A and B are shown apart, each in its own frame.
Chain A
Amino acid sequence: MMTAHPLIRLLDRGSTLFLVLLAAFAIAIPVSNLLMPEGSALHVSTYFVALFGKYVCYGLLALSIDLIWGYVGILSLGHGAFFALGGYAMGMYLMRQIGTRGVYANPILPDFMVFLNWSELPFFWYGFNSFAYAMLMVLLVPGLLAFVFGWFAFRSRVTGVYLSIITQAMTYALLLGFFRNNFGFGGNNGLTDFKDILGFNVQAEGTRNALLVMSCLALAVCFLICRAIVTSKFGKVLIGIRDAESRTRFLGYRVEAYKLFVFTVSACMAGVAGALYVPQVGIINPGEFAPGNSIEAVIWVAVGGRGTLTGAVLGAFVVNYAKTFFTSGALAPYWLFMLGGLFIGTTLFLPRGIIGTYNNWRAGQADKAEAKAAGDGAASPAQPSAAE
């Protein structure tokens, strides 16, 4: 096992299955949406494409949370903040692309700034007309915030629930700030009314499918990065920190440096998820910073199985599909009961989540088979062993 090829370590059976499934969706859905005639049994609606794209972004957010919660034991209740910051960076690019097509037809200023009687672009909006710059910010802004926040927090050994609570305070503070009009991010209404991305209309079917494929690609790449981290020696140290932080520190590892690195990587991934999410749903507003959103994202991971990576994505899909299903019908008032029940039920009865429980069960089966094989061997002492 220890000598296995790095690529084999990276891609175990579950991971391969996950990537194959993801690729299948990323190919099948656009093909079905764009090439199959409408009304055909194989055609999926554009609504479904956007919905699936949204789930993929949620999956990526869940993945980023699983990386720190599942492998380092950092329960961030503020990961929605990184997601939203990435979203805002993308939203700012999209706002600048509107140009003169806004209500006030101002070539430079977004509508809400004209509405607030601002005469020039605030400095932090500079450069967002360039896609490359915006993408850099998608990574840099959440990454930098996570780095600064983590640097303070991990260095002074804020752990456990204290860390959870201050991450929640962080996203709450950002929520309050972004609600303010003079913060320069559209206040209450956020950023919306996007027209196009890289010259393509965001509403067009082709763009939507392309965004879905991009999201799947981003998820796959981030998944591989996560796998690379957790299967490496570095990842073993992370697990050591999760299970016995003080002991790992006493062994000479710089725990805070490990945590800071993973936390920052995770925040960047959440930012990418937010950036892909915004053009697909067409709006970003301060509501994304709500502490409730971040906690909900944690429960996706818990449902799927923390510390499994694939489970986090699966959990995001399952819970969000259930949410779509419940909130769009007569069952809407019961969705919060469902969600609440999910929180309670998962922690009480399914602490390892779907994938974790399945893995356990499989491991149990294997153990049994092994025990049986060993038992068979013991039952026939008459047969002399070949080694003797």
Chain B
Amino acid sequence: MGKFHDRILALAVAIGLIVSAAGFAHAGPYEDALEKLTTDDYADTADAVTAVATSGNSLAAPLIAALQDGRLQFSAKDKKVFIKTADDKLIDAATGKPADGAVPDDLDTVRVNNRLRGVIDAANGALTLMAPDAAKRYESAQAVFKSRDAAVLPAVEKALEAEKIPRVKKVLTEARAAILLGAEDTTPADKVAAINIIRDRGDQDSLALIEGLPADTPAEVRAAAAAASAKIQRNLALWNTVQNLWYGLSLGSVLLLAAIGLAITFGVMGVINMAHGEMVMLGAYVTYVVQDVIRTSYPGLFDYSLAIALPLAFLFSAAVGIAIERSVIRFLYGRPLETLLATWGISLVLQQAVRVAFGPTNKEVGNPSWMSGAFDLGGILITYNRMWIILFTAIVFAALLAMLRFTRLGLEMRAVTQNRQMAAAVGIRTARIDALTFGLGSGIAGLAGVALSQIDNVSPNLGQGYIIDSFMVVVFGGVGNLWGTLVGALTLGIANKFLEPFAGAVLAKIAILVFIILFIQKRPRGMFALKGRAIEA
């Protein structure tokens, strides 16, 4: 019964609100405002705009839109205002009915200057505070919080009363607090309350608001502001750390994705594959080709383009990798420096082949709908593409570990890594394992290419940008150890992002390179080095 009673009460309040709002509309501020629009005076127009916006009249929105577009006409003689529609018809702004016949002959456009444009924007904000779409209300409440235009206060308070969605209501409360804090006639107690509300919001804008209090603020308010500002700063520092961690994780996962294939070819086989970056690049171009085919032939499949591209990129890069291993690298085993030079040559050939086939310019690779956009998590913005790439990297890494651990091929690969002669002696065909290992490393590079096509420019030079970083990761993490590669990639990614705010992106990168050069002096075989004599070979 109690519940039912509450509902009736809520309904009654709502009806009361609507009625009062409707009654308010006819009471006159809108009509008064219209008159002010006919004086051809900027100050009057500004007052009128604010009054119109807060009037709640259904014609307010079209009127302000017309003013903004220079379609609002007035007659000084008749004290009448007309909205000119897009198809050049005149509508009486007082009644909303077409103004047929009774058009005055001294019609003129209501002029707008820069200050007025600001007022109009604020008025639009106030208008959308009452919009039926909750997302729009939320946006406009945020806009009011930032503009904190005192003129919108009545509109905010009205919207606050009508608002039911907590998320929007919270922002409206904050917007109201922001306005109250800035207003001169607010009592110190109210100001302290406002500060507390703004403090709980806790973002950069709140901090600016609280720190921007004028010098003549009463002492108690200032004390509250100082406390709030300290709290916000702590809060922001925390979120800043979280954000750096997130960006670092994101960069680290990209590095890991690019380096993990290298970790296999370099770590397991000891082959320096300078063409590894080009395997990544080929994977990205496979994505491009897949999307191109989908765009022209099966537009409906676009959201699945990456899922289609993944196996194709893996197979294609793996096939190219195996071809390289069979045709060049197998003749160079045991001569790492020569391998390095030969694979560099291969990378030049592959780059140029792609340049000749696809042209030197960047290719457009689109994000499927589920990869575009972003969402807020606390104080940070998380983009879907970065999030998916982190997840994807984790999956690839886990799959690779599982493959090495649980499959026959993985077992044989580990055997060959540990002792090539002994592996051959127990009947493992090491040449076949070499080719497959190289194919696997290259195929994973192809997968990385699909992911990187989503966040980087797809051009023939794509791989070049990752090769040095990838080597750094592998060398830093320790050769022949996938966990080392994981730790290396994440460490370097996060360190890079934490250095960036102090040093800038380029210096951060230089610092990391210098750090690795020094680190290698200390631990020439990386963080997680293989122990034993095998490494001397």
Q: Which residues of A contact B (CB under 8 A)?
A: 75, 77, 149, 152-153, 155-158, 160-162, 164-166, 168-170, 172-173, 176-177, 179-180, 246, 291, 295, 298-299, 302, 333-334, 336-337, 339-344, 346-348, 351
Does B231 lie at the interface of the complex (its beta carbon under 8 Å from any beta carbon of A)? no
Given contacts A156-B521, A343-B348, 6 further A-B contacts (CB under 8 A): A165-B272, A169-B513, A173-B514, A295-B341, A333-B352, A337-B349
Does B162 lie at the interface of the complex (its beta carbon under 8 Å from any beta carbon of A)? no
Are B348 and A169 neighbours in the complex by a CB distance under 8 Å?
A: no
With known contacts A168-B468, A177-B506, A291-B468, A156–B524 Cβ distance under 8 A: yes
Residues of B within 8 A of A339 (CB): 345, 348
**Shortest Cβ distance from residue B269 to the other chain A in the assembled complex, whole angstroms:** 12
Does B242 lie at the interface of the complex (its beta carbon under 8 Å from any beta carbon of A)? no
Residues of A within 8 A of B475 (CB): 162, 165-166
CA A98 – CA B331 in complex, angstroms?
A: 54
CA A176 – CA B503 in complex, angstroms?
A: 13
CA A180 – CA B507 in complex, angstroms?
A: 9
**Residues in B332-362 with C-beta less than 8 Å from chain A:** 332, 335-342, 344-349, 351-353, 355-356
Closest to B332 in A: A347
Are B506 and A179 neighbours in the complex by a CB distance under 8 Å?
A: yes
Interface SS of B by simple majority: helix
**Residues in B156-193 with C-beta less than 8 Å from chain A:** none
**Shortest Cβ distance from residue B270 to the other chain A in the assembled complex, whole angstroms:** 8
Are A156 and B468 neighbours in the complex by a CB distance under 8 Å?
A: no
With known contacts A176-B506, A176-B510, A177-B506, A169–B516 Cβ distance under 8 A: yes
With known contacts A162-B524, A173-B514, A348–B349 Cβ distance under 8 A: no
With known contacts A170-B517, A172-B513, A341–B345 Cβ distance under 8 A: yes
Closest to B349 in A: A340
Are A298 and B506 neighbours in the complex by a CB distance under 8 Å?
A: no
CA A156 – CA B514 in complex, angstroms?
A: 16
Residues of A within 8 A of B414 (CB): none
**Shortest Cβ distance from residue B134 to the other chain A in the assembled complex, whole angstroms:** 47
Are A340 and B352 neighbours in the complex by a CB distance under 8 Å?
A: yes
Q: How many chain B residues touch A (Cβ–Cβ < 8 Å)?
A: 41
Partner of A340, one of B335, B348, B471, B522: B348
**Shortest Cβ distance from residue B514 to the other chain A in the assembled complex, whole angstroms:** 6
Are A177 and B468 neighbours in the complex by a CB distance under 8 Å?
A: no
Interface SS of A by simple majority: helix
Residues of B within 8 A of A333 (CB): 352, 355-356
Q: List 26 A-B contacts (CB under 8 A).
A: A77-B340, A152-B521, A153-B521, A156-B522, A156-B524, A161-B272, A161-B340, A162-B524, A164-B340, A165-B472, A168-B471, A169-B513, A172-B468, A172-B513, A173-B517, A176-B506, A180-B506, A180-B507, A295-B344, A336-B351, A342-B345, A343-B342, A343-B344, A343-B346, A347-B339, A347-B341
With known contacts A169-B516, A343-B341, A336–B349 Cβ distance under 8 A: yes
Does B328 lie at the interface of the complex (its beta carbon under 8 Å from any beta carbon of A)? yes
CA A164 – CA B468 in complex, angstroms?
A: 11
Does B136 lie at the interface of the complex (its beta carbon under 8 Å from any beta carbon of A)? no
Closest to B353 in A: A337
